[in-house]
Structures are given as C-alpha cells and as structure tokens.
C-alpha cells in the first residue's frame, strides 16, 4: 500500500487526548494514498463528525466535505474546537 | 416567582428614591434584563437626547433567573444610550453584584437626572440611601472604591459596581466595573454613570428569591447542570478560557492585527494560552495563576494572573505584584496583536489598568492601535504625545497609554475619545476600526463574513456577542447563508441576554434547556418558539430606539479598510468583507424595508406598533 505523510496540528485541543501527536500538538501521520481528511482524523482518534473545525493548507474544509477531501503528500492539517468568542 | 416585582427609581437631581412595582405585563413580553431594560428606556426616554446629558437614563436590570440558583444565573445588564455610540447600549456583566441586587429585593434600578454633587447608592435590602462620594471615593480607582466602601460600612458582603477615573472624566469607553474585575464593558455605559455624578452602587441582600414552580424549576435546573458540568466546552473554558481563541483566529487568519493592516500576528506565540501557562525565569510562576467563577457558575472562565515582578511595568509597584484579573481573548487581542505588542506582561498590566480605572479593554486597545497607526503615518507626532514614540509593537507605549488614558492625563484624554473621534480629530476617519463608533472585537470580517454582517447590523456597534456565526464562519468563507445564521442567532442571543444566565452556558445547552428553567421560574407558558419571538421583538425594539436616535441604514456598514483592502494571508487571503451582498437579504429576513426600517407588518406581528 502506498502511504503519504501529512502534517497535523492541533490548535487549542489537548494533545494528550489525540494519538500520535506530540505534546506540542504537532505531528506527522501516515495516511493511505487517496485517503481523505476524515480518514486522517480517524487515524488520530478525532471523531470526524464531532463539530471540530478543520483547515487543509490553510483553507477551511467544512464538516460535510471531510469525506471527499482527498489528501496529498505533505498536506498540512489543522484542527481546532468549535469555540465561540467571549 | 423569578421576580421580586420591585423597581427602584432614583432621581439623582432631586436625591429622591422611590420604589415601584415591576411592570409584569412587560416582563412577560420582554423576559427581563436586556429586553425589559430596553423596554423601560424606550418608553420613558426620547432616544435623541445627548447620551451624557441628565435626560439620559441609566438602568441596571437583572433577569428572571438571576440569583435563583440557575447555573451561571448571576447576570445583570446596564442599559442606556451609549456614550461611545449614541445608540442603544446594553452591557452585560457577571460577578456577584447583579445577584446581590436581586437578593436585596430589587429587579431593576432606574437612575435619572444628574446629582449636583458626586454620590454613591447604598442598597441594603429595603434600606436604600444616596451618600456623598466627594472627599471619600470620587477620584479613586475601582479597586480602592470597593475597599473603602466595604471598610466604611463594615460589611464585607457588600458587592459593588462602580466607575473609575475613566468614567468620572467621561472617557467614551468607560465601563461599569463590579467585583474588581468583572465589567459591564462596552459602549461607554461608565461614562453615562460618570455624567450623572454617580460613583458607585453597593448592594447587599438577604431577601432571597422565589420561583413559580419549585419542583419543575429544580428538575430543569438539575438536568441543565448535568448537561453543563461534564461538557467539553465547560472543561475547555475552565482550563484554557476564552484566551484559547487567539490560536484559532491566528491560524485561520481572522486575528485583527496592527489596526487591521494584517490578519495574522507573528508574535502570537508570545501572548497565547501556552505563553500564559509557561513558568517564567524570574520567579518560576506562570502568568496564569488560576481561574475564577461568577455567581452560581460551574464554568469559571475568568482568569487570575500575575505579572512578572521583574517586568518594567510593575518593577517598583507592589500594588500590581499580586494576583489580578488576567487575559481573556477579546482583551488580549486588542492590547496585543491589534497593537502589534507581543509582551504578555505588558498586555496583562494594560488589562489590569483597564479593570482598575474602569475602561473597556477592547475599545481601549483598538483605540491605541488607531493612535499607533496615526503616529505611523505622521498624523500624530511626539508633540501631541508629549514625547512618547507611539509605535506599533511598543510595549512601553502600550503601558504608557494605559496609564495616561486611565487617569485622563495629557494625550490619554485623546485616546479616551475612542477610535472614531480620535481618527476624525487627526484627519483620518477611515482608520477607525469601528461600527457605529464601537471598536471591533477580535475577529477580522474578511475571513469571517458572517461576523462582518453581525458587526454591521449589531444594534450596539461592533460586537461578537450579538450573533453567533462562528461555526459557519470557521467552515465556509462565503456570503451565502450568513444572513439567516446571523438573524437567528441575534434573536436567540437577545432573548438569552434577557434571562439572567450567561451566554457561555449556551455552549453546552440548547435553547430548550434554558426555556425549561424559565418555565419553572415564571408563571405563564414558555416555549422555544416564544423565546425566539421575544428575542426578535427585543431586537426590533433596539432597532427602533436607534432609528429614533437618528441612526440610519448608512450606519449598518464596516470600515472601508476591510471592505476594500484584501486580507494579506490566511484562509481569507485576497478577500474583502462583502457586506453589500448580505445586507439586502438580512433586511428581507428581518421583515424590514430596503431602508432598514421594520415594516408596519413586522411591527404588527411583534406587537410593537
Ligand atoms: S462562564 Fe465565565 S463569564 Fe459566564 S458566568 Fe461563568 S465565569 Fe462568568
């Protein structure tokens, strides 16, 4: 199986709750070629249909589009919680 | 039954205090707090009066769930015509004061006129007195005012709402502070209090509150609590606070930086949550000490911090080498990235001075940022500042600005005008990042189009709490669909802010959870639909106030910069705020004319004509 590597960054999420990510919230994970953003989130144990917000290479990917968002080698994923301001 | 059914009317001109019954018909229609206070203000006052004249009224209003035991139910609002905006002002605060006012037996205070001499109001249950503030607390900081009142009356349980020197000297964004570090922060409600020569209100109450249906209330309250306490938002707000938003907006590209010249801040890592948690070299302590909760709140999003005792801002000042109110997102955005300052101790000191002197840190920080840009382009020079190099990124300039503005000294008086009046004075009105005269909170509307619409249409000027487009904005940079999201969440928040419960509980609750508590606390039939209807009625009532005050459709806009200069980076790179694409749909959804006025049909539907 061909595998690609994608960068993963947790923003304002406790990294201890997420598999394979360093204590600084940053890591790199292998994903099967043709894998989606939803696949990558599954791999680290983030449930894709939880209301996390996601960016791939700085562009937002809405929750409903995560299954269709195919990843490329070297893509940078950022995930942050659905916080509201105050 | 949720209410004490009593209002205290205080004629400051005559020094007369009159209790009167709460208008229960209005309470049913406008819920309480924000809605009910706005109804009283609209009925009793011509909205065209000068905000700083004796004709303006100042209302302190609790909600039906304030002090009933509902989770986060300790809130009150200050409702008046805003000194910053000349529009309806409604500033909501937590802490303990609102709950104690209600526990003293009063749902609402209506303050009228202007006292001939500085005074403060003492409310101990039914014993209510106006007392002289001159040669006692007038001219004092908020912190000293609280200490002195408590010492004089020998009652450590008094909870105090007061203004600092900023409010006394009519700084346009002066707040009403309570419990040292909680604020009815926005729109200049503290300046209105200062214009009335009213320094403080001290409340102590032991009357208690009652609910209409104790069993139903108890059950609804327990169910809501069971949902809130283990929830992720509660844990997150408690551990990393609202401060966590800084990494989110910075990575997204919606963090207003350098007076909105940029949308991401190079120095973010020096002022983010991680920086606040990291022990420093000098004394091994972290900036963040602990969290703090308001009355009946199990969230505790408030921050308690300490400034590095070696830092230049506090080095020889033991007064500030203590635990004090710490950094929350909207404050740190404004005194940090917006000014280009990456010094967490300088930012914490500036925030502390905002608390001590009674200034809104959002408007203060954004006004300093505007002044820094005016300095950068040469419109302000050292001649005006008295020698200070007011440069973007200068921690020294930020610290100096907080000191001179809080004490209304020298150029601080100009910074205290707020961005709009400051930029007009120095010939560059387009550099003010404001809506209706009120400074932006920490979201740039180029990457967050829904927030842009929320700012433009907010009845109290730019605000992040009047609508909740966050989730859609962080998922889609588009204009489609934003009008409906903004309208619905405006109605929801207007009703929520009228209950006495904190908006943050809404991160874990649905509207049903709150309505069930209202239904237990109050007589009558409370439904989710009725809740949204009340919110829409309140929103339209605020709009009518503003139209009568002279505001028009032209005030539903954003600064030229965010509409014409594309974002330089981030998810919204190349985008501008496209308010013109969203506003017509928003007016239509509201049932307003193309000129932004509620149609007679809409007014009829809401019972407002
Ligand atoms: S969530 Fe924060 S602001 Fe709201 S009541 Fe609790 S401590 Fe106060």
Residue in B329, B441, B571 nearest the CB of A59: B571
* Ligand 1 atom closest to B298 (CA): 6
Take atom 8 of ligand 1 and give the residue whose Cα is closest: B294
Rounded CA gap, B489 and B349, in Å?
34
* pLDDT at residue A49, as a whole number: 59
- Residue written as token pair 């419960």: B501
CB contact under 8 A, B248 and A51: no
CA distance B260 to chain A (A): 18
Two structure tokens written together for B482 = 């934003």
Residues of A in contact with B301 (CB under 8 A): 86
- CA A59 → CA A11, B241, B313, distances in Å? 15, 26, 40
Under 8 Å between Cβ of B39 and B7: no
Range B240-255 average pLDDT: 94
* pLDDT at residue A86, as a whole number: 60
Residue A16 touches chain B, beta carbons under 8 Å: no
The alpha carbon of B328 and the centre of ligand 1 are apart by a number of angstroms equal to 12
CB contact under 8 A, A58 and B441: no
Average confidence score pLDDT of chain B: 97
Residue A68, domain CATH: 3.10.20.30
* pLDDT at residue B23, as a whole number: 98
Rounded CA gap, B288 and B244, in Å?
13
The alpha carbon of B236 and the centre of ligand 1 are apart by a number of angstroms equal to 13
On whether the pTM is more than 0.95, the answer is yes
- What's the helix, strand, coil split of chain A in %, to 5? 15, 35, 50
Rounded CA gap, A77 and A54, in Å?
7
CB contact under 8 A, A80 and B251: yes
* pLDDT at residue B314, as a whole number: 98
The alpha carbon of B70 and the centre of ligand 1 are apart by a number of angstroms equal to 13
* pLDDT at residue B360, as a whole number: 98
Domain B6-204 has CATH 3.60.9.10: yes
Show me where the domains of chain B are located: 6-204, 242-420, 443-606
Domain that holds residue A35: 3-80
Domain B242-420 has CATH 2.40.30.10: no
Interface mutation vs chain A, best among B92, B252, B294, B510, most A CBs within 10 Å: B252
| Distant-in-sequence, close-in-space partners of B15: CB < 8 Å, separation ≥ 6 | B115, B119, B130
Range B307-327 average pLDDT: 97
Kindly give the interhelix angle for B511-521 and B482-496, rounded to the nearest 10 degrees: 30
Q: Is residue A85 part of a domain?
A: no
Q: Is residue A86 part of a domain?
A: no
Q: Is residue A62 part of a domain?
A: yes
CATH hierarchy code of domain B443-606: 1.10.599.10
Instruction: Find, in chain B, the residue whose alpha carbon is nearest to that of A51.
Output: B471
CB contact under 8 A, B474 and A78: no
Plot region of B290 (φ>0 → left; ψ -120 to 50 → alpha; else → beta) = beta
Residues 44-83 of A with CB under 8 A from B: 51, 53, 55, 58-63, 78, 80-83
B484-521 confidence digits (pLDDT tens)? 999 999 999 999 999 999 999 999 999 999 999 999 99
A67-80 confidence digits (pLDDT tens)? 999 999 999 999 98
CB contact under 8 A, B443 and A80: no
Range B110-122 average pLDDT: 98
B437-479 confidence digits (pLDDT tens)? 999 999 999 999 999 999 999 999 999 999 999 999 999 999 9
Name the pLDDT band for A18 (thresholds 50, 70, 90).
confident
Residues of A in contact with B242 (CB under 8 A): 83, 85-86
Please determine, for the modelled complex, whether the ipTM score is greater than 0.95.
Answer: no
Greater confidence, A12 or B88? B88
CA distance B330 to chain A (A): 7
* pLDDT at residue A20, as a whole number: 80
Range B550-562 average pLDDT: 98
Instruction: Find, in chain A, the residue whose alpha carbon is nearest to that of B329.
Output: A86
Strands A76-80 and A3-10: parallel
Q: Is residue A42 part of a domain?
A: yes
The alpha carbon of B77 and the centre of ligand 1 are apart by a number of angstroms equal to 14
Among B416, B415, B338, smallest CA distance to B380 is for B415
Strand arrangement of the beta sheet that strand B58-62 belongs to: B16-21, B6-11, B108-112, B58-62, B76-81, B88-93
CB atoms within 10 A of CB B327: 30
Could you give the number of structural domains in chain A? 1
Burial class (CB in 10 A: 0-12, 13-18, 19+), B410: middle
- Mark B34-45 as b/e (b = at least 16 C-beta within 10 Å): bbbbbbbbbeeb
């Amino acid at each position: 199986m061909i595998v690609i590597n994608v960068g993963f960054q947790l923003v304002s999420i406790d990294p201890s709750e997420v598999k394979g990510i360093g204590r600084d919230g940053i890591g790199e994970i292998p994903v099967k070629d043709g894998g989606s953003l939803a696949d990558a989130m599954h791999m680290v144990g983030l449930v894709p249909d939880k209301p996390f917000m996601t960016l791939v290479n700085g562009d937002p990917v809405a929750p409903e589009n995560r299954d269709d968002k195919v990843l490329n080698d070297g893509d940078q994923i950022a995930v942050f919680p659905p916080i509201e301001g105050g | 039954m949720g209410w004490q059914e009593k209002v205290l009317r205080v004629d400051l001109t005559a020094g007369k205090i009159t209790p009167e019954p709460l208008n229960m018909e209005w309470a049913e229609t406008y819920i309480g707090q924000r809605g009910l206070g706005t109804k009283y203000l609209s009925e009793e006052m011509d909205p065209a009066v000068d905000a700083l004249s004796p004709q303006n009224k100042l209302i302190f209003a609790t909600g039906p769930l304030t002090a009933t035991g509902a989770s986060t139910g300790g809130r009150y609002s200050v409702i008046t015509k805003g000194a910053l905006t000349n529009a309806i002002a409604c500033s909501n605060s937590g802490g303990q004061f609102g709950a104690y006012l209600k526990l003293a037996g009063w749902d609402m205070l209506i303050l009228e006129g202007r006292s001939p001499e500085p005074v403060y109001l003492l409310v101990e249950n039914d014993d209510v007195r106006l007392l002289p503030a001159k040669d006692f607390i007038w001219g004092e900081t908020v912190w000293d005012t609280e200490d002195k009142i408590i010492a004089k009356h020998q009652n450590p349980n008094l909870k105090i709402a007061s203004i600092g020197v900023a409010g006394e000297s009519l700084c346009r964004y002066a707040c009403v502070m309570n419990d040292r570090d909680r604020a009815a922060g926005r729109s200049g409600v503290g300046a209105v209090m200062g214009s009335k020569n009213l320094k403080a209100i001290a409340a102590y109450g032991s009357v208690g509150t009652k609910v209409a249906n104790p069993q139903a209330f108890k059950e609804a309250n327990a169910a809501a609590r069971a949902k809130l306490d283990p929830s992720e938002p509660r844990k997150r707000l408690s551990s990393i606070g609202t401060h966590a938003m800084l990494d989110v907006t910075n990575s997204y590209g919606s963090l207003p930086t350098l007076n909105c010249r940029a949308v991401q801040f190079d120095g973010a890592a020096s002022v983010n949550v991680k920086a606040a948690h990291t022990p420093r070299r000098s004394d091994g302590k972290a900036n963040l000490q602990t969290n703090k909760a308001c009355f009946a709140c199990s969230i505790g999003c408030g921050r308690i911090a300490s400034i590095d005792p070696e830092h230049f801002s506090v080095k020889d000042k033991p007064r500030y080498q203590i635990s004090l109110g710490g950094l929350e997102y909207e404050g740190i955005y404004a005194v940090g990235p917006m000014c280009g300052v990456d010094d967490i101790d300088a930012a914490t000191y500036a925030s502390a001075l905002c608390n001590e002197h009674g200034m809104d840190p959002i408007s203060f920080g954004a006004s300093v940022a505007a002044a820094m840009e005016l300095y950068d382009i040469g419109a302000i020079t050292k001649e005006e500042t008295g020698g200070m190099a007011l440069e973007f990124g200068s921690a020294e300039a930020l610290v100096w600005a907080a000191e001179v503005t809080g004490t209304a000294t020298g150029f601080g008086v100009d910074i205290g005008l707020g961005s709009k009046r400051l930029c007009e004075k120095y010939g560059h009105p387009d550099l003010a990042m404001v809506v209706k005269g009120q400074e932006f909170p920490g979201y740039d509307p180029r990457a967050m189009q829904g927030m842009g619409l929320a700012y433009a249409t907010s009845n109290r000027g730019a605000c992040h709490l009047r609508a909740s487009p966050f989730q859609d904005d962080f998922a889609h940079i588009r204009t489609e669909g934003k009008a409906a999201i903004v309208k619905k969440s405006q109605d929801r928040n207007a009703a929520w802010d009228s209950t006495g419960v904190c908006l943050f509980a809404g991160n874990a609750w649905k509207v049903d959870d709150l309505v069930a508590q209202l239904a237990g606390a109050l007589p009558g039939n409370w439904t989710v639909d009725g809740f949204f209807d009340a919110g829409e009625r309140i929103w339209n009532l605020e709009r009518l106030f503003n139209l009568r005050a002279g505001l028009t459709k032209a005030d539903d806009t954003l600064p030229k910069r965010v509409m014409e200069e594309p974002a330089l980076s981030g998810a919204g790179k190349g985008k501008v705020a496209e308010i013109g694409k969203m506003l017509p749909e928003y007016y239509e959804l509201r049932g307003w004319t193309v000129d932004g006025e509620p149609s007679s049909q809409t007014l009829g539907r809401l019972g407002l004509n």
